[in-house]
Amino acid sequence: FDLKRAGGSGGVVPAPDLQTAPVAMRALASAIAAGEVRACHDLSEGGLAVAAAESAFAGDLGAELDISAVSLGTLPASYDPDATRLFSESCTRWIVEVSPEKEDAFRARFKETPLAHIGRVTESPRLVIRGTDRATLIDLSTDELRAAHQSGFQG
């Protein structure tokens, strides 16, 4: 598919922040080594929405997420902030599960980098994601997520 031929234009390829990235990676590695991280998934292929879905159906657990706390830089007027938060593949971003009793220690490691608490893991096998206006953007079972992930794009 040729995007330019179809009249579209491509976006900007994400580039790492070479000041923040090493600090964030060291913080994550030290949190993992200290046993503070229960699960972690990078946001490189499909962004937060795909990572949350893969995490949910991999463990047959669910999650309730509120993406309003995910920081964004300045966006062009035409950008949808919820879509950007859900699907951005910018560098050095992860969704991390931390047990409540280890949250303070985990947060302390990231005092020099952006960090947002966006939700919780649930026993119910559903992924529910709410947007900036608290509207439900996604509410799907892990079975639906798995089926969509394994079937590929159908349209």
90: pLDDT confidence band, cut at 50, 70 and 90? confident
On the question of pLDDT at 3 being above 50, the answer is: no
C-alpha triplet 51, 53, 56: angle, nearest 5°: 110
Task: Specify the pTM.
Answer: 0.85
Q: Under the phi-then-psi rule, with left for phi > 0, alpha for psi from -120 to 50, and beta for the rest, what region is 98? A: beta
C-alpha to C-alpha distance for 9 and 2, rounded to whole angstroms: 10
On the question of pLDDT at 8 being above 60, the answer is: no
C-alpha to C-alpha distance for 99 and 107, rounded to whole angstroms: 12
C-alpha to C-alpha distance for 52 and 43, rounded to whole angstroms: 9
Per-residue pLDDT of 23-82, as tens digits, reads 999 999 999 999 999 999 999 999 999 999 999 988 889 999 999 999 888 888 888 999
11: pLDDT confidence band, cut at 50, 70 and 90? low
The residue ranking higher by pLDDT, 15 or 97, is 97
C-alpha to C-alpha distance for 127 and 57, rounded to whole angstroms: 9
On the question of pLDDT at 153 being above 80, the answer is: no
The residue with tokens 């503070």 is: 36
Per-residue pLDDT of 120-143, as tens digits, reads 999 999 999 999 999 999 999 999
pLDDT of residue 6: 52
Question: Which of these, 83, 97, 91, lies nearest to 55 by C-alpha position?
Answer: 97
- Side by side, the strands of the sheet bearing 119-122 are 119-122, 62-66, 126-130, 136-141
